[in-house]
Amino acid sequence: MANGETMEQGNEEAGVGEPLISVRDLVVGFGDRVILDHLSLDILRGEILGFVGTSGGGKSVLTRTILGLVPKRSGTVEVFGQDLDTLNEAQRSAVERRWGVLFQQGALFSSLTVKQNIQFPLRENLKLSQKLMDDIAYAKIEMVGLKCEAGEKLPSELSGGMIKRASLARALALDPEILFLDEPTSGLDPIGAGDFDELIRTLQQTLGLTVFMVTHDLDSLHTVCDRIAALADGKVIAQGPIETMMASTHPWLRAYFHGARARAVRSER
Ligand SMILES: Nc1ncnc2c1ncn2[C@@H]1O[C@H](COP(=O)(O)OP(=O)(O)OP(=O)(O)O)[C@@H](O)[C@H]1O
C-alpha cells in the first residue's frame, strides 16, 4: 500500500468491481523460513492485476496458495466469497472450475496434441460428445490466435509463443471467470510479448475476465495492468495503478520503476 493509502482507496481509484478473491493476514512458510508474512490482497472483478516483487520473494507461492497447492500456516483466502478451507470436495471442484491457470512453463502434456491438451479439463469435469469437445477446442484455439492446424500438433512441434497460446487455450477451456498467469511473457521476444499482452487485454475485455498476472515485464505493467501490487518482505508494500507505483518512495519500487530498465521501457513508448 502506498504511504498511508488504504486498500479501499486503492480499489476506488482503479474503478473496478468488488473483490473476487480476498487474501487476509496470510502466513506461508517452509521449515523455519517465512515467505508470506501476514499478507493481505484483493483481486477485484474485471481487473488485470499485475503482481511484482523481488525474485524469490514469494509471488508464485502466493498464487499456489490461493489455488490450494501450498498449505498456509494462518490467514484466510476467500474465492468468490467462499473460504476454501470450509468447502467439501465437490464444492471445491466447483470453485476450481471457475478459474484457469497458466503456469510459467506452460505445462502442457507433452504426449498429447494441443487439441487433446485443451480437451483434458473438459474430459475431467464434463460429459460432452467428442463433436462438442472438438468444437470447443477449435473455438479456444481460434480465440488465442492460433491456426486450427495447431490443434493436431504436439507441444514439441510448437514455438515458445505458440506454447504460451496453447496453454492459454487450455486455461480457457472451462470458460473461467478468473485467469492466473505466472510470468506469461517470459521467454518471448518483445514483439511476441507485446502481442501476448494484447491478447490478454482483448480476452479480458471480451470475456469479462479477471486476471491475476505475476510478471517482471515492465511493458506489461505499463500497457495492460489496471492495477499493480508489489510484494516485499512477505507483504504487499504498495498497490494501485501504475501512477501510484511510480510515485512510491519505497526504495525497491523506486529502483524497479525508475531504474535503467524502466527508463529504457519508457523512452521506447
Ligand atoms: N515447496 C517449497 N518448499 C520449500 N521452499 C519453497 C517451496 N516453494 C517455494 N519455495 C521458496 O519460496 C521462495 C519464494 O519462491 P517463489 O517461487 O514464490 O518466488 P517468486 O517471487 O515467484 O520468484 P521468481 O520471480 O524468481 O519466479 C523461494 O525462496 C523458494 O525457494
What pLDDT, in 10s, does the model give residues 131-167? 999 999 999 999 999 999 999 999 999 988 889 899 9
How far apart, in whole angstroms, are the C-alpha atoms of residue 86 and residue 28? 19
Residue nearest atom 12 in ligand 1 by C-alpha distance: 58
pLDDT score, position 118: 95
Note whether 94 and 116 are same-domain residues: no
Give the domain-ending residue among 158, 175, 192: 175
C-alpha of residue 231 to centroid of ligand 1, in Å:
13
- Domain assignment of residue 234, given as a range: 7-98+177-268
How far apart, in whole angstroms, are the C-alpha atoms of residue 167 and residue 106? 5
Note whether 73 and 201 are same-domain residues: yes
Once rounded to an integer, what is the mean pLDDT over residues 239-267?
83
List alpha helices for the chain, DSSP H.
Answer: 7-14, 59-66, 89-96, 114-125, 130-143, 160-171, 190-207, 218-223, 242-247, 251-258, 260-268
Q: Is residue 1 part of a domain?
A: no
- Could you give the C-alpha distances from 145 to 45, 142, 182, 195, 223, in angstroms and in order? 25, 5, 20, 10, 20
Note whether 140 and 204 are same-domain residues: no
pLDDT score, position 34: 97
Give the domain-ending residue among 119, 149, 175: 175
Structural domain count, the chain: 2
Radius of gyration (Cα) for the chain, nearest Å?
A: 19
Is 58 touching ligand 1 by the criterion CB < 6 Å?
A: yes
Once rounded to an integer, what is the mean pLDDT over residues 220-235?
92
C-alpha of residue 58 to centroid of ligand 1, in Å:
5
pLDDT score, position 38: 97
Q: Is residue 53 part of a domain?
A: yes
Note whether 126 and 152 are same-domain residues: yes
The domain spanning residue 195 has which CATH number?
Answer: 3.40.50.300
Whether residue 15 is predicted with pLDDT greater than 50 in this model: the reply is no
Whether residue 12 is predicted with pLDDT greater than 50 in this model: the reply is no
Q: Lowest-pLDDT range, 41-50, 68-77, 144-153, 180-189? A: 180-189
Note whether 94 and 181 are same-domain residues: yes
Is the ipTM above a cut-off of 0.95? yes
pLDDT score, position 101: 92
Sheet holding 235-240, edge to edge: 99-102, 178-182, 210-214, 48-53, 227-232, 235-240
C-alpha of residue 57 to centroid of ligand 1, in Å:
7
Whether residue 257 is predicted with pLDDT greater than 90 in this model: the reply is no
Note whether 138 and 29 are same-domain residues: no
More confident residue, 184 or 63: 63
Residue nearest atom 28 in ligand 1 by C-alpha distance: 56
Is 100 touching ligand 1 by the criterion CB < 6 Å?
A: no
pLDDT score, position 261: 66
Residue 37: pLDDT band (50, 70, 90) is very high
Whether residue 13 is predicted with pLDDT greater than 80 in this model: the reply is no
Note whether 64 and 165 are same-domain residues: no
Residue nearest atom 4 in ligand 1 by C-alpha distance: 30
Residue 267: pLDDT band (50, 70, 90) is low
pLDDT digits (tens, 9 = 90+) for 166-213: 999 999 999 999 999 998 888 788 888 888 899 999 999 998 999 999
pLDDT score, position 204: 92
